[in-house]
Amino acid sequence: MRDVKRIEIVIDKPHEHEVLNVLREAGVPGLTVMDVVSGYGDRGARDGGELSDAMSNRYLLTTCDADRLPAIAAAIEPLLLRYGGLCLISDAQLIRNT
């Protein structure tokens, strides 16, 4: 077991691609994407993407070592400022095959 930072992000699906790129470039070791049924925040309600992805969200879960967190947070923040969405960071312990 190893201490890591747990990062979860909710972002508009149209911008998922950009966030994934940023995270990949920031070197997160892995990533899990899940669907969002609905949600709301400052910019109003989001749907489940019935007609198009225009108003739907994605949920991303990733981890990083504590010392990498500032760089990753700095990389994500501008995207959240531009597009809205949410990033939650918490402490966790990791069990992995590596």
Query: What residue ranges bind another protein (CB under 8 A)?
Result: 12, 14-15, 43-45, 47-55, 82-83
Among all chains, which residue has been given the structure tokens 């918490």?
Answer: 90
Q: Under the criterion CB under 8 A, does residue 15 sit at the interface with a second copy?
A: no
10 Å CB burial of residue 89 (0-12, 13-18, 19+) is middle
Residue 67: C-alpha distances to residues 45, 80, 81 (Å): 35, 21, 23
Instruction: State which of residues 29, 54, 66, 82 lies at the interface with ligand AMP (CB under 6 A).
Output: 29
For the bound state, the minimum distance from the C-beta of residue 36 to another protein, rounded and expressed in Å, comes to: 11
Among residues 38 and 54, whose Cβ is nearest to a second copy? Answer: 38
